[in-house]
Amino acid sequence: MFSLLINSKKNFMKINKVKKVLITLDYNPTAQQVAEQGYSIAKSMNAEIILLHVIADPEYYSLTQYNPIMGFTGYVDIGPLQLNVIEDLKKASQLFLDKTKSHLGDDAIRTLIKEGGFSECILETAKDMKIDMIVMGSHSRRWLENILMGNVTEKVLHHSSIPVLIIPTKKQA
């Protein structure tokens, strides 16, 4: 079961012309559901499929932008290990997308890893790759995280100029 949220009449008309679908995935356990349902819908439209995983801006992991906290100056104190963190994240992300592609059983699926703000990367990728539809999960974080970080799905839906398919992933009560 899925919900198609169309953010304008113009985008409703675009649904019939979907040739490229961007499926956004994170490490949330609901990613399998998003991938499977997004894939099924994209295949039913004979669309090209791109799986996207976004890694948060590397500065988020480095902590070098802050003054020392309790004598800790950030991951720079750790030395060469810090330099490998981003590379390790990229490798893990690629493995995640490769395993997702294998699970879906379609070698034609393309995979892509981007670094930066989640909603910004999704929207920029959609624009740069001339994507016709974005597929993403609806899961939301805890209320405090939403206040501090915002809801990625909500931001993408609000700012997208193309149809956005939202796969509801909240656990049924």
Number of domains in the chain: 1
Cα(85)–Cα(58) distance, rounded to whole angstroms? 9
Tens of pLDDT along the chain (173 residues) come to 444 545 555 555 455 689 999 999 988 888 999 999 999 999 999 999 999 999 986 655 555 555 555 555 555 555 555 557 778 888 999 999 999 999 999 999 999 999 999 999 999 999 999 999 999 988 655 555 555 445 888 889 889 999 999 888 766 44
Domain that includes residue 53, residue range: 19-167
Any domain includes 48: yes
Any domain includes 7: no
What CATH number is attached to the domain comprising 154? 3.40.50.620
Any domain includes 150: yes
Distances (CA, A) of 137 to 5, 58, 117: 12, 24, 17
Any domain includes 8: no
Any domain includes 9: no
State the Cα torsion 60-65-67-69 to the nearest 10°: 10
Any domain includes 11: no
- What is the per-residue pLDDT across 14-40, written as a single tens digit (0 to 9) for each? 556 899 999 999 888 889 999 999 999
70: left (phi over 0), alpha (psi -120 to 50) or beta: left
Cα(12)–Cα(64) distance, rounded to whole angstroms? 45
Any domain includes 29: yes
